[in-house]
Structure 1
Amino acid sequence: MAKLLQKTLMGEIFLFAVIAATTSVVSGWNLHKHLTEEFKTKGIAIVNSIANSSVEILLNRDASTLQSIIDQFFDIKGVAYVYIIDEHGEIIAHTFVPAIPEEILKHTYETGVQLEDILINDLTIAEQGEFIDICAPILAGIAGYVHVGMDKGIIADHRNSAIGNQISVVLVIFLISVFIAHIRVNQISQPLNQLTEYAQKLAANNFNAQVKIQSQDEIGLLA
């Protein structure tokens, strides 16, 4: 019985491992792709909103109002940072605390101030994580540019949580199937063990031995 149960369990473990790995990879990738596109769409909407509302404020050099605007968008879930540069490439408002990271300064310099359309880049900031940097011009770049960073860490957290939940469901199904398999193997192995003992007694010339198997299946007919 032990060998039969072991073979059955090994087969189930292999099958469920393949199912869990395949579904986790496929669903995880699809979710990651979907959330990334969703974050990009949200980020584009935010930069366009800021760009459209900041033209007059930028032209008037109203720094306090400009800071108030970007602080409001900074509270939106998924937004990691917001900053605005003028037409000369100088950062005039931002949400970084306590200081602007070097990676942002370098990225701003490399991006330049010649953009006339939305630009999307992946950006890594040391000790903070990975971000989707979305840049949009204000008044075709004449009044400056808006940068919004969407936190890719949130995407990873959602993806990992979904994969974990899926694996948990598969694990529960696996444990239930193991329990059922154990019962079925016992039902099959008990009459087989009786037949084996009966055959051994016959081989030992014990012709008075009897076997008590009441089932009507092939094992019962064999008995």
Structure 2
Amino acid sequence: MRIARFYQKTLFGVFALMGLILVSTSIIYVHTVDRQLTDYFLNSSRAIARAIANSDSDLIVNQNYPALQSVIDQYVETPGISYVFVVDGEGTIIAHTFVPGVPDEIAADYKSDKDTYDRTLAGMGSFSEVTAGIIGGQAGRVHVGMDKGYFALQVQTAIGKVVYLLTIIFVVSVLVTYGLMYQVSRPLHLLGNFAWHTLSGEKHSAPAANQLQPLLERTDEVGELGRLIRKASREGA
């Protein structure tokens, strides 16, 4: 389908505008979803850490470590939670979910009172680790590590669905716009053929009668030009 030349720039501008809207919307959505989901997963990890610190303080104070171990083992079944470990008031790790043992990277740095650690553990991946104090930190701290790869995957999945939908909308919009432009251009091509046939001395194929009559009956500018051309051709004859 051919589009009139003076519409081609307009069509290109429409496509460029649609592309700009798609890209800008995607960027804003990606940024928003990434921030919101990341905050959501970190807050969930903090909630788990606080729940352990608040509900199991008696187990820690009374040194009931087997019971404490069974409690924290349940939390690693939560999607995204990769590990949990508990530190007593003396700075000793008294319970953990690591197999076979605590990684060297954690053993070298866990005693500060930071609320969040960014960890990269060999053979395991990257993690965001949040902490919560037990009895205000006096009886130790609970550390909960969430796999960054997990919530990155959740972010990508959420973003991918929306970008996929936006892409479909963009493609459909392009096709519809192209079709509408063709519908506008087609009468102009017929009008041009009619003008060449009636006013030019060069041979040019005339529009068929079933195409010409609707063209001349139009009430817009195309119809007015068609009738003007027909009038000029009769006066010239």
If the length of structure 2 is used for normalisation, what is the TM-score? 0.77
Choose the corresponding residue for 1:186, options 178, 182, 186. Answer: 182
Counterpart residue type for residue 103 of structure 2? P
The answer to whether the 8 Å contact 1:32/1:155 transfers is: no
For structure 1, the 5+ residue unaligned runs are none
Tell me by how many angstroms 1:41 deviates.
Answer: 2.5
The answer to whether the 8 Å contact 2:133/2:140 transfers is: yes
Choose the corresponding residue for 1:14, options 9, 13, 16. Answer: 16
For structure 2, the 5+ residue unaligned runs are 227-237
Tell me by how many angstroms 1:88 deviates.
Answer: 3.3
Q: What is the match of residue 122 of structure 1?
A: 118
Counterpart residue type for residue 172 of structure 1? I
Choose the corresponding residue for 1:149, options 141, 145, 151. Answer: 145
Deviations 1:32-69 (Å, cap 9, x if unpaired)?
22223222322222222212233332233322211101
Give the count of matched residue pairs: 217
Pick which of 48-57 and 6-15 moved more.
6-15
Choose the corresponding residue for 2:192, options 181, 190, 196. Answer: 196
Identity %: 36
Q: What is the match of residue 220 of structure 1?
A: 223
Alpha-carbon spacing, 1:20–1:192, altered in 2? closer, same or farther (3 Å): same
If the length of structure 1 is used for normalisation, what is the TM-score? 0.81
Tell me by how many angstroms 1:164 deviates.
Answer: 1.6
Deviations 1:128-152 (Å, cap 9, x if unpaired)?
3332211122234443221011233
Q: SS state of the match for residue 107, structure 1?
A: coil
Distance 2:9 2:22 in 1: 20
Map 1:41-190 → 2, pairs under 5 A = 41-108=43-110, 111-112=111-112, 115=113, 119-190=115-186
Deviations 1:93-141 (Å, cap 9, x if unpaired)?
1112344333322331xx43xx4xx712333334433322111222344
Deviations 1:178-217 (Å, cap 9, x if unpaired)?
2322322222222221222234343325699678124321
Tell me by how many angstroms 1:82 deviates.
Answer: 0.3
Alpha-carbon spacing, 1:182–1:56, altered in 2? closer, same or farther (3 Å): closer
Distance 2:10 2:160 in 1: 26
Q: What is the match of residue 230 of structure 2?
A: none
The answer to whether the 8 Å contact 1:70/1:94 transfers is: yes
For the aligned residues, what is the CA RMSD?
Answer: 2.8
Alpha-carbon spacing, 1:127–1:33, altered in 2? closer, same or farther (3 Å): same
Counterpart residue type for residue 218 of structure 1? E
Distance 1:191 1:55 in 2: 82
